[in-house]
Amino acid sequence: MDSALSSELRLPFAGPPELGEPIEVAPGILWLRLALPYALNHVNLYLFEDGPGWALLDTGIADEPTREIWQRVLADKLGGKPITKLVLTHFHPDHVGMAGWLSERFGMPLYMSQSEYLMSRLLQSGAEATSPAQGAFYRAGGLAEERVAQVLTKGHSYLKRTTGLQPSYTRLIAGERLELGGRSWRIFTGGGHAIEQVMLWCEADRLFLSADQVLARISPNVSVNPMQPQGDPLGLYLQSLNELREAVDGEALVLPCHNLPFYGLHDRARQLEAHHHHRCDLIAAACRTDAKSCAEIVPVIFDRPLFDPHQLSFAVGEAQAHLNYMLRQGTLAVEPDPGHVLRYSTV
């Protein structure tokens, strides 16, 4: 979701590489950009010179354009060397979508945090998509039945754009280290955007692979999952930003999975915190005069129409994340109305 780029951030690259044309972003590290069929129209992947081949961070979504680009990249852009390791930062399909296809081709080991691996396997099984909790979540949020149906079908269709995960993996654990491309990386994990998203920090070269947790131009979507309707992903996200400020050098080169690489991690973390606290202030003001549902809060924090079911599902989840955070902070109260829609009022 939108969040302005600060003039305090420094961008070492004026623009991104052409789609499917990897460029060197740091010694021994290639930056590869692939297209996405959404408002957020791209994802950044990173390849690391790793002995006889290339280690890869994330894969892109599973669709025919991505498959065609990967075929060209593997044939012409990597010196004929194979993919030797696969690191997946989190379960979203734009990051894991082509994992099965690549694994069938190269049989390389897979590295992932436990929660992200298990969530990905669950979603790819299709079981969660048919759960009654999905519809109940959006109805309690105040969405009209027509919009609920759209979100549960078209809005969640992106979750199917994967090629599977191999049945075994190596678990990445926060605080431990991963050897990748001749460098030693400290493993961080953070909640909010995902459950246990992996980030990697190389102190020696001041390189930080931030995945989707810290981006230069947008704030990552921080949403409540219908599986855990009372969860507090925003609280977890703000906690993660604070931990990163304390542990990662503010002058590190940040290599994110969307937007451009940048310098200014600490400044950007503070901006993202301020962005979410501003949304909380807007919600508190809106709920002061009369109680509102989650659906009625969506236009309070998003200043554009959300006709796309994919974007609407993200917006409802993010609005609910702010409501749940404020409930935990004691600044909102909630009661169901006669139609069982939850309505929130400022305390």
Measured CA to CA, the distance from residue 75 to residue 3 in angstroms comes to 38
Q: What are phi and psi of 24, to 5 degrees?
A: -80, 125
pLDDT score recorded for residue 127: 64
Helix (H, G, I), strand (E, B) or coil at 70: helix
Q: Which residue has the tokens 């409540």?
A: 224
Q: Which residue has the tokens 């004026």?
A: 14
**pLDDT tens for the 347 residues of the chain, in order:** 444 545 579 999 999 999 999 999 999 999 999 999 988 999 999 999 999 999 999 999 999 999 999 999 999 999 999 999 999 999 999 999 999 999 999 999 999 999 999 999 998 887 665 678 889 999 999 999 999 998 888 766 677 789 999 999 999 999 999 999 999 999 999 999 999 999 999 999 999 999 999 999 999 999 999 999 999 999 999 999 999 999 999 999 999 999 999 999 999 999 999 999 999 999 999 999 999 999 999 999 998 876 688 889 999 999 999 999 999 999 999 999 999 999 999 99
pLDDT score recorded for residue 132: 85
278: part of which helix (H) or strand (E)? Answer: helix 265-286
pLDDT score recorded for residue 272: 98
191: alpha, beta or left? (left if phi > 0; alpha if psi -120 to 50): beta
C-alpha distances (whole Å) from 18 to each of 32, 39, 44, 279 are 8, 18, 11, 35
Task: Report the top-level CATH class of 23-146+156-277.
Answer: alpha beta
Which residues, 6 or more positions from 122, have their beta carbon under 8 angstroms from its beta carbon? 128
Measured CA to CA, the distance from residue 174 to residue 159 in angstroms comes to 26
pLDDT score recorded for residue 185: 98
Q: List the domain boundaries for the chain.
A: 23-146+156-277
Q: What is the pLDDT of residues 265-278, one digit of tens each?
A: 999 999 999 999 99
Radius of gyration of the chain (CA): 20
Burial 71-107 (b: 16+ CB within 10 A, else e): eebbeebbeeeebbbbbbbbbbbbbbbbbbbbbeebe
